[in-house]
Amino acid sequence: MNVAQQFANGIIIGHAYALVAVGWTLLLGAARLVNFGHGQMYMMGAFVAWWLMSATGLPYAAAVPLAVLVGALLGALMQRLFLRLTLSQDLVNLMIATLGFGQILQGAAGLAFGAKPERLTSPLQAITLGGARVSCSAQDVLLVGATIVVFLGLHWVLRRSRFGAAVRMVAEDPPLAALYGLRVAPVYLAIFAFEGAAVAFAATLVAPRTPILTSIGFEQVVMTFVVVVLGGIGSVGGSYVAGLLLGLYTAFFSALVSPAYTTASVFALLIVVMVVRPGKLAASGGFAR
């Protein structure tokens, strides 16, 4: 086994996990919402970019921002649908509603894009960097760089800006924030739109690595969930570190043991963490740190 190459793979996959999870981390921390439609939103982002490129002939660089825009609109639509449930913090029903939302996206994507596997092609995927021992594509470098920028940007907004303070206040106590005179609904709208935009952005950067199918959402969401839980629920910095560690773990597990059982082994890892540190699963405290 080429250890250095697996290490590089792990870092790349880890950044992919972290970037896919970042929207959900914020959503969970700020709105206490578990989005089971997250995987389908990822799928949608990848397919919208693919469709824009194959149907209209747009270049990859133009398809990415448009797919992000569609993702943000999807997030906003979701917020409009679920506003009442979010404000009343009806968490059980919210969770089921997000599953239904994912089902709608999957059905709509099947009708619109068909059942065949497709390939989202990025021109950067063909450019190989590095030497004989360790190599990666320019797309991977872009992915890692973009992830770092998104996490630093989110950290700055949450800790340093007035808007970030509003988000933290809504996360802490929505009724109190409203009493203070803060308009809560636009803050939720922004959080949901960020979730949609972030996962679509992640999809456009990550999806060129593998073929895409309209059914990929079901499995996709599991890694995100593990990142969010291992990182400490709602913790932005934590999910970056967790994504990175999980990427290294899966890279070495697939190389040393078996790629087919990677998801199962990650699940086992999650259970070990839950047994050793059960407090990690309680949603409290760690938001925006």
Partner 1 sequence: MSRFPAARLAGVAALALLGFLLPRLLGGSAHVYDTLTTIAIFSAMSYGLDIILSDLGEISLAHTAFFATGAYAAAILVVNYGESAWVGLAGAVIAALALALVLGLITLRTREFAFSLVTYAAAVVCMNIAANWDFLGGSDGIVGIPPLALTLGRFSFVAGRPAQFWPVAYLLLLFVLYVVARFRRSRLGQAALMVHMNPRLAAMCGLDANQVRLHVFLVSAPISALAGWLYAFQRAYVGTDLFDTYFLVLMLTGVILAGRRLLLGPLFGTALLLGQKNFASLGAYGDALVLGTVLVGVLCLCPRGLASLWRRRAIPGPEAPSLPGGPVSG
Interface residue list for partner 1 (CB under 8 A)? 34, 36, 81-82, 84-85, 88-93, 95-97, 99-111, 218-219, 221-222, 225-226, 229, 260-261, 263-264, 267, 270-271, 274, 278, 281-283
Shortest separation between residue 42's beta carbon and partner 1, angstroms: 14
Which residue do the tokens 């940007």 mark? 153
Going from the C-alpha of 247 to that of each of 39, 149, 183, 204, the distances in angstroms are: 18, 18, 39, 19
Going from the C-alpha of 229 to that of each of 28, 83, 142, 213, the distances in angstroms are: 10, 25, 26, 26
DSSP secondary structure code for residue 129 in this structure: E
Going from the C-alpha of 35 to that of each of 117, 144, 178, 282, the distances in angstroms are: 25, 24, 24, 17
Q: Say which residues have a Cβ less than 8 Å from residue 84's Cβ, sequence separation at least 6.
A: none
Shorter beta-carbon distance to partner 1: residue 126 or 264: 264
Shortest separation between residue 241's beta carbon and partner 1, angstroms: 19
Q: Residue 136: enclosing H or E segment and its boundaries?
A: strand 135-137
Shortest separation between residue 281's beta carbon and partner 1, angstroms: 4
Shorter beta-carbon distance to partner 1: residue 121 or 263: 263
End-to-end CA distance of the chain: 37
Which residue do the tokens 């959503």 mark? 27
Shorter beta-carbon distance to partner 1: residue 4 or 96: 96
Could you tell me the two tokens for 16?
Answer: 């992919």
Shorter beta-carbon distance to partner 1: residue 12 or 223: 223
Shorter beta-carbon distance to partner 1: residue 124 or 216: 216
Shortest separation between residue 45's beta carbon and partner 1, angstroms: 18
Shortest separation between residue 86's beta carbon and partner 1, angstroms: 11
Shorter beta-carbon distance to partner 1: residue 198 or 270: 270
3-state secondary structure of 137: strand
Q: Where are the alpha helices (DSSP H) in 32-90?
A: 38-56, 60-87
Shortest separation between residue 213's beta carbon and partner 1, angstroms: 13
Shortest separation between residue 267's beta carbon and partner 1, angstroms: 5
Shorter beta-carbon distance to partner 1: residue 110 or 186: 110
Q: How many CB atoms lie within 10 A of CB 167?
A: 25
DSSP secondary structure code for residue 185 in this structure: H
